[in-house]
Amino acid sequence: MITRRYAEFSSALIGLSENFPSELTKSMLADLRELRDEVQCFMLKMASVFPNREEQNIFLINNYDMVLGVLMEWTREDSSEVESFQRLLNQQSIEYVKGILDPHFGEFIQFVLRAEEFQTEGKLDQLRNLEVFLMSCEQFKSRWKAVQLARYFNDNWKSALESLKEKVQGIFPSLERESVIHQMALSRVIEYHFRFQRLFPSVARDRLTNSHHILVEMKRYNPSF
C-alpha cells in the first residue's frame, strides 16, 4: 500500500512538472528524488523480513513491478524515476533467475564459465584434445567433466523445464512479469547450451541434445519464447 501511494504521488508530481515546467516544479522533483531513495531503502528493509533470498527477490520484484506499472501509466519511459526502478527490477529479476536455475543447471553453467576462462587464457585446445601427449591430470578431468555434464544435461533438462514452469507459476501477481521472468530463465538455459557447444563441439555433437529440440520444448512451456 505504501509503495503504491508513493508511485501515485510520484506520477502526479512528474506529470505536473512535465506539463507545467517552472522553478517550483524543478524543486519538487529534487525533493522527489530524495523521497525515491527513501522508499527504495524502505523496500529493502521490508524485504529483509523474509527468511531467504528467493522470497526477498520475489517481494522486491513484485513491488518494483507495481511501482513501474503506475509510473509508466502517467510518465515517460525515460524519466529518472522509471529508469531507477527499471534498473532495480532488472537486477532482482536476474538474481532470482540465477537462483531458480542453480539447482538444475548451476554446475553446468559454472563449468562453461570456467572453460571460457581457459579459452581466454589460450588453454581451451588442451581441454578439447584428449590425445594431447603428456596431458595433465587436471586437463583430463576437465574434458571428462564436459562429457559428464553433457550426459547430466540430457538426462535432466526436460524435468528441469517442468520444474521452472511450476516455480514461477502463481508467484507474481502480474502475468506479464511471470512470463518475462520465465523467458529470462529459458533464455539463460539455451544461452549456456550454445556456449557449451562452442567450447566443446565434438562433445556437444556426440552427446548433447540438439538445441532446436530444446527450443521447441521451451516454446511448449512458454509460447511467447
Per-residue pLDDT of 189-210, as tens digits, reads 999 999 999 888 887 788 899 9
Residue 53 sits in the same domain as residue 164: no
Residue 72 sits in the same domain as residue 126: no
Using CA atoms, how far apart are residues 109 and 122, in angstroms rounded to an integer?
20
Residue 136 sits in the same domain as residue 84: no
Q: Position 194: which residue type?
A: F
Indicate if the pLDDT at residue 129 is higher than 60.
no
Dmax of the chain from CA atoms? 76
In this prediction, residue 142 has a pLDDT band, given cuts at 50, 70 and 90, of low
Of 59, 88, 117, the residue that ends a domain is 88
Residue 123 sits in the same domain as residue 143: yes
Residue 123 has what DSSP assignment? Answer: -
Indicate if the pLDDT at residue 76 is higher than 70.
yes
| Tally of domains in the chain | 2
The cell for 84 is 531507477
Cβ atoms 126, 179 nearer than 8 A: no
The cell for 166 is 511450476
Q: What confidence score (pLDDT) does residue 193 get?
A: 95
Residue 128 sits in the same domain as residue 199: yes
Higher pLDDT, 91 or 199: 91
Residue 209 sits in the same domain as residue 189: yes
Q: What confidence score (pLDDT) does residue 117 get?
A: 82
CA dist list (Å): 91 to 38, 84, 98, 187, 189: 19, 11, 11, 16, 18
Helix (H) or strand (E) run with residue 128 in it: helix 124-128
Of 88, 104, 134, the residue that ends a domain is 88
Using CA atoms, how far apart are residues 108 and 131, in angstroms rounded to an integer?
24
Residue 135 has what DSSP assignment? Answer: -
Residue 144 sits in the same domain as residue 195: yes
Residue 114 sits in the same domain as residue 196: yes
Residue 45 sits in the same domain as residue 147: no
Of 32, 66, 88, the residue that ends a domain is 88
CA dist list (Å): 37 to 16, 29, 34, 140: 20, 13, 5, 52
Q: Tell me what percent of the residues of the chain surpass a pLDDT of 70.
A: 86
Residue-range definition of the domain harbouring residue 48: 2-88
Angle at 110 between CA 184 and CA 192, to 5 degrees: 45
Q: What confidence score (pLDDT) does residue 149 get?
A: 85
Name residues whose C-beta falls within 8 Å of residue 73's C-beta, 6 or more positions apart in sequence.
Answer: 11
Residue 87: other Cβ atoms inside 10 A = 11
Residue 33 sits in the same domain as residue 81: yes
In this prediction, residue 19 has a pLDDT band, given cuts at 50, 70 and 90, of low
Residue 67 sits in the same domain as residue 146: no
Residue 47 sits in the same domain as residue 101: no
CA dihedral in degrees (53, 57, 60, 65; nearest 10)? 180
